[in-house]
Amino acid sequence: MNDFGVTAKGLARNPIGVVALFLALIYGLATLLLGTAGQTLSEAQRWPFVWFLILFPVLILIAFVFLVVFHHEKLYAPSEFRDERHFFRKLAPDEQKARLNEEVTAIERAAASSATASPEQYRSLSREEVKLKVSVAEDMALRALEQELSCSISREVAVEAGDGWLNLDGAVVRGDELLAIEIKHFQGRGLAIFQIEHLLELLTKLPFKRFRRASLLLAIVSDAGDEADREIEQKLRSVISRFGVPVRIRFFRLAELKDRFGLGT
């Protein structure tokens, strides 16, 4: 019994082990009963056990083939992967470039539609300058989050969801939970909230093939003042309240990140 308990504990760590444990337990009990009490059973009572011993492995085989063919991604626990980042697909350089251009376009749209900006307060930045600031802000925020979370973050990855892939700035696997990480650079002239709404909608509706639940860590790298940060945080929380995804908002100061990582002037 002690050996069986150790074996059962080892097998119960993933779905394949649970199936194997169930097969061994049921088949073993049926065989034991037929072997020990078979002589006391009538022929009519023995035949159901005989057919069970014949058909049960066949049914299990059919079920297992079905799972392997159609749901193979659900047969393994995340801990069985040598590197949990194998749950993600690394974005190709062209995809990363397209995401950066999309982010810069969203920033430009948000800045153009913002009613709080004054021309005297902000000088106009070229598109290349904005790209550089967004890239630096994202890199430093991910480095800071790795320190806070005490784990490695998979950067610029796609997660299989629904019939396609969900692109993320970063992601972390926590058992059967996906922690999606989105970085936004806030200069005080509006934030591309529509992008965050779209991401929350996808996280809410899309079924993830390797995760049972998902949460979002939204990191805002701010280059604005406290008042602007509080205002944008209120807007974000208003948007988040409409969705059922757990969201944590984390604000970073761009100047503080630069000092921390040796990029300050």
265 within a domain of the structure (yes/no): no
Q: How many domains does the chain have?
A: 2
**Do 140 and 38 sit in the same domain of this protein?**
no
3-state SS class at 71: coil
pLDDT at 216 (0 to 100): 95
**Among candidates 103, 185, 192, 94, which has minimal Cα distance to 138?**
185
CA angle, residues 236, 238, 244, in degrees to nearest 5: 95
**Among candidates 182, 193, 183, 187, which has minimal Cα distance to 106?**
193
Domain limits at 53? Answer: 2-76
**Do 62 and 87 sit in the same domain of this protein?**
no
**Do 100 and 138 sit in the same domain of this protein?**
yes
DSSP 241: T
66 within a domain of the structure (yes/no): yes
**Do 151 and 91 sit in the same domain of this protein?**
yes
52 within a domain of the structure (yes/no): yes
Type and span of the H or E element at 201: helix 193-205
Question: Which of residues 76, 91, 122 is at a domain's end?
Answer: 76
Question: Which of residues 54, 76, 98 is at a domain's end?
Answer: 76
**Do 235 and 189 sit in the same domain of this protein?**
yes
Joined tokens for residue 51: 């057919």
Burial of 54 (0-12, 13-18, 19+ CB in 10 A): exposed
Burial of 258 (0-12, 13-18, 19+ CB in 10 A): middle
Mean pLDDT, each 10-residue run in order, the chain (265 residues)? 50 64 72 70 74 79 77 59 63 87 81 53 64 88 93 89 88 86 84 89 86 91 88 92 93 90 71
181 within a domain of the structure (yes/no): yes
Q: Cβ(163)–Cβ(200) under 8 Å? A: no
Question: Which of residues 76, 103, 129 is at a domain's end?
Answer: 76
pTM for the model: 0.66
pLDDT at 143 (0 to 100): 93
pLDDT at 26 (0 to 100): 75
